[in-house]
Amino acid sequence: MRVEALARIGGKGLDIGHVAGGIPEISMDELMGALAGLDRGPELLIRAVVPQQAVHDDLYREAYMLAVSLAVKYGWKPQKGKPILRGMGKIAVDDILYPNHCRTCSGTGLVADEAGNATVECQVCAGTGRKKPKVSFSAAICGIDDTTWRRTWERRCDVVRGEVRDWWNIAERHILKQLS
């Protein structure tokens, strides 16, 4: 698999133009080898865009822990019982993994029901699988109302988004260095 293909799957462009002579065809093993030495967040992000790498749960957990550490650092106080930090981690990861899709159902229009026994229509996108306006889906994922989201959490989520985008940039630089 080529790095460009990897980048396409992730919906992001790896800037291979900077590598003299470009990057040769590489195998999955070579790609995995090029991840050695990366921090966990950047590594999981790359692994999540590679087919057959089921690391999404780990990646969401890692992004959640990132949001927790940012909340400690900046003194953010989430309302009790609201999945705000977990939600922000998911939003930040899905920005990169599914840029054009509904983030709740990952573009399928379907989600597991509360008991986890069946799939039901996604309420965030009304089953369309496409993005709805930012405010309502972001607030819904975090379990809070639109006003609270807009007033307090939207800017904070931008910080989490920026950090996860940095994961991608760090991984990209690292892989290009390893392969060039």
Interface positions with Zn ion (CB under 5 A) = 102, 104-105, 122, 124-125
Q: How far is the CB of 140 from Zn ion (least distance, A)?
A: 10
| Contact yes or no for 72/162 (Cβ under 8 A) | no
Which is closer to Zn ion, CB of 104 or CB of 138?
104
C-alpha to C-alpha distance for 101 and 73, rounded to whole angstroms? 31
**Integer CA distances (angstroms), 144 to 3, 63, 148, 154, in order:** 39, 19, 7, 11
Which is closer to Zn ion, CB of 84 or CB of 141?
141
Which is closer to Zn ion, CB of 71 or CB of 111?
111
Q: How far is the CB of 122 from Zn ion (least distance, A)?
A: 3
Say how far residue 9 (Cα) sits from the centre of its chain. Answer: 13
Which stretches does DSSP call E strand in 30-167? 110-112, 119-121
Q: Helix, strand, or coil here: 36? A: coil
Q: How far is the CB of 108 from Zn ion (least distance, A)?
A: 7
Which is closer to Zn ion, CB of 105 or CB of 142?
105
Closest to 173 measured CA to CA, from 10, 54, 46, 51:
46
Which is closer to Zn ion, CB of 9 or CB of 110?
110
Q: How far is the CB of 105 from Zn ion (least distance, A)?
A: 3
Q: How far is the CB of 90 from Zn ion (least distance, A)?
A: 13
